Amino acid sequence: MQYCQPLVTALTPLLINMRVLVTGANGQLGQELQALQNSHTNIDFTFLSRTELDISDSDAVQKYFSELVPDYCINCAAYTAVDKAEGEEAAAYRINAAGTQHLALACKSFNTRFIHISTDYVFDGNGTTPYVEESPISPIGIYGASKREGERLAQEVNDDAVIIRTSWVFSSFGSNFVKTMLRLMPAKESLNVVNDQRGCPTYAADLASAILQIISEGKWTPGIFHFSNAKETTWFEFATAIKAHCQFTCTVDPITTDQYPTPAKRPAYSVLDTKKISATYGITIRDWQTSLADCLAKLKCAV
């Protein structure tokens, strides 16, 4: 049987790990991806924080791509300070628009598949039914406009990109609404929370899993996709669920957006229709209550 040996060797697939570059690695989504790396041994990850790679520096982007030649790039880097963006338009565009363009161009040059994250804030919030990927966009603030420009530039220079719009992101990492509630609820007797904005929370760990599923399956369909957890809610209902889960005793009162003015306007309705990503990539979407319970279990209802 010795003569069979070379044939077997020739048919053995060459197992080479995929190289995946993650930018903005210290944000909520970046850290959730880091937390999943041990369960994806077929992937060699390179996680780069802002200090390691500033995506607004095109030379630095080119340098990293020429050294790493990644198979995939997941862009988790963004200027996300929605209110501050109103006074820092240039910075928001430098990162969310130009930075995205630099990555999209490098991906095109190095044959790297580009996964970019965008936002529900590209919509004006006047809708009343879930937004599909083709719904008209019309951002109402600088942050949303800069992210929209990032989407446009990414598609202009790289028609192979996958762009995932998401909404109301929470995580056990970074700063977000859930962690703010966990800080305030034990310290206050009462809290007012806005009850007239409707959207779907997104657990960044679920988004990270969805992204890695897209990569691991190897099937690639470019375009814009929506991802959030299922079931729409309001910030007040979200806060009430956190309070109930952690058995806090403070009172939570519903207020209107008018009673809580912010420098940047928020879309009143930003529910994303997620059917396309499920149909295209076979991604199962959990409801936000289940994902919130997972996140709170990690945080042990204390920050």
Ligand X SMILES: NC(=O)c1ccc[n+]([C@@H]2O[C@H](COP(=O)([O-])OP(=O)(O)OC[C@H]3O[C@@H](n4cnc5c(N)ncnc54)[C@H](OP(=O)(O)O)[C@@H]3O)[C@@H](O)[C@H]2O)c1
Least distance to ligand X, CB of residue 12, Å: 39
Going by C-alpha positions, the residue among 262, 287, 201, 206 that lies closest to residue 236 is 201
Q: Does 29 bind ligand X (CB under 6 A)?
A: yes
Number of residue whose CB is nearest ligand X: 27
Decide: 56 and 98 in contact? Cβ < 8 Å.
Answer: yes
**Catalytic-residue membership of 260:** no
Which are the contacts of 205, defined by CB distance < 8 A and separation ≥ 6? Answer: 32, 35, 36, 171, 172, 291, 294, 295
Among 20, 21, 22, 27, binds ligand X (CB under 6 A): 27
Does residue 100 interact with ligand X by CB under 6 A? Answer: no
Task: List, in sequence order, every residue forming a beta bridge with 169; answer none if it has no partner.
Answer: 202
Q: Which stretch binds ligand X (CB under 6 A): 60-68, 73-81, 219-227, 237-245?
A: 73-81
Q: Does 56 bind ligand X (CB under 6 A)?
A: yes
Residue 170: φ, ψ to 5°: -135, 160
Looking at the Cβ atoms of 174 and 223, the one nearer to ligand X is 174
Cα gap 72→257, rounded to integer Å: 40
Residues between 228 and 267 that touch ligand X (CB under 6 A): none
CB of 92 to ligand X, least distance (A): 10
Residue with tokens 């919030």: 125
Q: Which is nearer to ligand X, 114 or 250 (CB)?
A: 114
**Cβ(220)–Cβ(113) below 8 Å:** yes
Q: Write the CB contacts of 202 (distance below 8 Å, at least 6 apart in sequence).
A: 166, 167, 168, 169, 170, 227, 228, 229, 288
Catalytic residue among 72, 131, 143, 269: 143
Q: Does 99 bind ligand X (CB under 6 A)?
A: yes
User: Which position among 65, 72, 79, 288 is part of the footprint of ligand X (CB under 6 A)?
Assistant: 79
Contacting positions for ligand X (CB under 6 A): 23-24, 26-30, 50, 53-56, 76-80, 95, 99, 117, 119-120, 147, 166-169, 174
Give the residue numbers annotated as catalytic, written as ranges.
Answer: 143
